[in-house]
Every structure is written in structure tokens, then in C-alpha cells.
Amino acid sequence: MTTVSEHDDRPTREAIIDLDALRHNVRRLREVTGVGELIVVVKADAYGHGAEAIARAAVEAGADRLGVADITEGVALRAAGITAPILAWLHGPHAAFGAALDAGIDLGLSSVAQLHRVIAAARDRPSVVPVVQFKLETGLSRNGAAEADWPELFQAAAAAEAAGLVRVDGLFSHVSNTSTADDRAAAVRFERGVALATEAGLAPRSLHLAASAAALGEPFLRYDAVRLGLAVYGLSPFEPTEDAGRSADAFGLRPVMSLRATVAAVRRVEPGTGVSYDYSYRTSAATTLALIPLGYADGVPRSASNAGPVVINGRRYRVCGRIAMDQFVVDVGDDAVAVGDDAVLFGDPASGAPRVEEWAEAAGTINYELVTRIGPRVVRTTRERS
């Protein structure tokens, strides 16, 4: 058995983030959607890609606004020197609205109670007029003001805006992507909300209903703005089994993340050797096993055991045996694989890497989850030509 050299300075576990691909995707999505406002969603550490670097590159490429779920995500971007407009839209009962106002973060609100809390936080900041957008519940059954509450919400907002206590900048919602009919029904509800807001005296600048799937698949849902998350990272929001015309390639998008690790050990074994927990894999012949130091602690799903694809030295293999917390094993047969070689789990297929969707299929999940779940032990390394 051989082990990795202590003098190899490459990261053992690495997610390579291609910022040129990110910029390309932002510009391409601007062309495809044709909207006036492009909101690039960088919640959850930019879907696992690293929020600060992604936010900077997205703004450089023309993003008009950044979207986050939590106020703390927006505050962190401000602390990193990001000055672009930021909208935060998911708030618990103790959300730090004061911190959001101090950081100049616009707030997506889902209730009259939240509106009152924002106005109360602004009383201690007389020079600040909160900028808010209202999230309307239009059929997804998640956050957002219920339709029965819209008249009270809009009347309260109009009165507060008239008093100079708040500025209502937009209305938005989200769709289920279940079918065109379901999404059209959500749009009808949304437009009912827009009409009620207008009747109450509000004049929201920005209306947005579409995230990546709706923005690419249902042009009638684009309105004034679109919120783009997964597509910005070069991945298609549609299932791989669907129409090939809706693949990332078809939209002209390039994957931003590649996941690799350094082969940590190589072992020659005899036929019938059990591999990893439960011996769910036994070798059928004398063979070579390569140890890859990535596991479910790093976001590699255990459910992809005996199935996930891996490329080493340009040749494709698959995981053999159970994926453990820190490591998994690849049976490379009689191929020449050495400690220190690169093992690529997914990335840009143009480079020969497996697609992240192959891992998603192996794990019974979606590409969104695979990139977002990559853990903190995996070093994010940004690459760009400039």
C-alpha cells in the first residue's frame, strides 16, 4: 500500500470554481430571458460555490441585484465589500431587521407583522427608509402572505409609505414548476395581488415570479425581473430525462463547479476482497483499489455507493462499496493509478468529467442538492483567465 506525500501542496479535497463560466452564464441568461432586472441568487453560500467570489463575478457580468434567503447572508456580503443591491426574503421570528437596515439590505416580507417589525427597527435609524418587497403566497404553500391577508397588508404598506416610513419596491412569488397549467394558475393569483396592491395605492417597481426553471421554460412568467440560481451555476433546472432541448448545453450554459480529490492510497488486493462497510462490494479478480478522501461529511452522498462515477487519468470508473464519512474506494482494475493522481467526481463534461447529474441520478436526488451540499473541508479554488 502506498500513501500520499506530505509535501504535495494541492488541496486534498477541492471544488474548482470557474468564474469565467459564471460570468458567461450571467451574460447568456440575460440574452435568453431579455428581462430588465437580473437577480442572481447567492443563498446557501452561492449553492455551495462560495458566495463572495460568485457575487463579485456576477455583478461584474451585469447582475442587477443579489438574492439571499437569510439576512445574515446579506450582511456577510456587505462585510466583504459587496455594494450591489441585495434582497433577503426568509425570516424567522427573531430576524435581525435592524442589522439588515444598517447594511442597506432590501427585505422581502411575508406578513403585516413583519412589516410592523421593520418599521419599528427603522425608528432607531431616522435616516433610513426601509426598502421592502412583498412575497405573496400563490400556491406553493411556503412563505408568503396568504391571499386573505393581502388587503390588510397592502393598506398598511400604503399608509406607511405615504408617511415616509417605508418604500415598497416590489412584489414577488414563486411557482411549483409542476406543470404549465399549475404555474399559470399561480401567475393568475399573483396578478390578482398586483391589482390589489395597485388599488391600495402602491406602485411596485419590480415584479418577479420566475426562478431558473420558470425563467427558462415559461417565458410568460418573466415579468420585470427573474431570480436565477441554479442556471447561473451552469446547470439545468430540468430533469435529465426531459427534453434535451432544455439541457444546460442547449441553453448555452457552462458548469461552474468541478469536484476533485487527490488519490490518497493505492492497494493491490486478491479476488474476493471485501471493500468498505458491509462488504456490499467484493472484488471479482485480483485488482487495484484507489482510496479517494471524500465522503458524506464532504457532501458526497452515501446513497451513491456502488454507483457514483469517477474519472482518474482520463478513464471512467465507479465507486465500489459504501461511501463512508471521509472516503470511498474505486476499483481501477489493472490500470496504472498512483497516489497523488486526480480523481474527478463531476465538472464540465467538455473536459471529460462526469456531469453532476450523473451523481444526482446515482444518489436518487437532484443536481441542486449535489453542489449545495459540498462541505467546508472541501477547499474552494477560484479560477479565471483575468
Among all chains, which residue has been given the C-alpha cell 453542489? 371
| Residue 142 known to bind ligand | yes
Type of residue numbered 133: Q
**H or E stretch at 169:** strand 167-172
Active-site residue identified among 135, 277, 279, 296 = 277
Are the C-beta atoms of 161 and 202 separated by less than 8 Å? yes
**What is each CA distance from 232 to 174, 213, 237, 336, 372, in whole angstroms?**
18, 12, 10, 37, 13
Rounded to the nearest 10 degrees, what angle do helices 71-79 and 51-60 cross at?
Answer: 70
Annotated binding residue 325: yes
Q: Running DSSP on this structure, what letter comes out for residue 334?
A: T
Task: Please provide the distance, in angstroms rounded to a whole number, between the alpha carbons at the two ends of the chain.
Answer: 42
Q: Which three cell numbers stand for residue 218?
A: 415559461
Q: How far is CA 182 from CA 196, 240, 272, 345, in A?
A: 22, 21, 53, 36
**Nearby residues of 96 by Cβ (< 8 Å), 6 or more positions away:** 71, 72, 75
Instruction: State the catalytic residue, choosing from 43, 47, 233, 368.
Output: 43
In the residue annotation, 43 being an active-site residue is answered as: yes
Phi and psi based region of residue 361 (left: phi greater than 0; alpha: psi -120 to 50; beta: remaining): alpha
Q: Can you say which residues are annotated as belonging to the binding site? A: 142, 325
Question: Which sequence positions are flagged as catalytic?
Answer: 43, 277
Binding residues for substrate: 142, 325
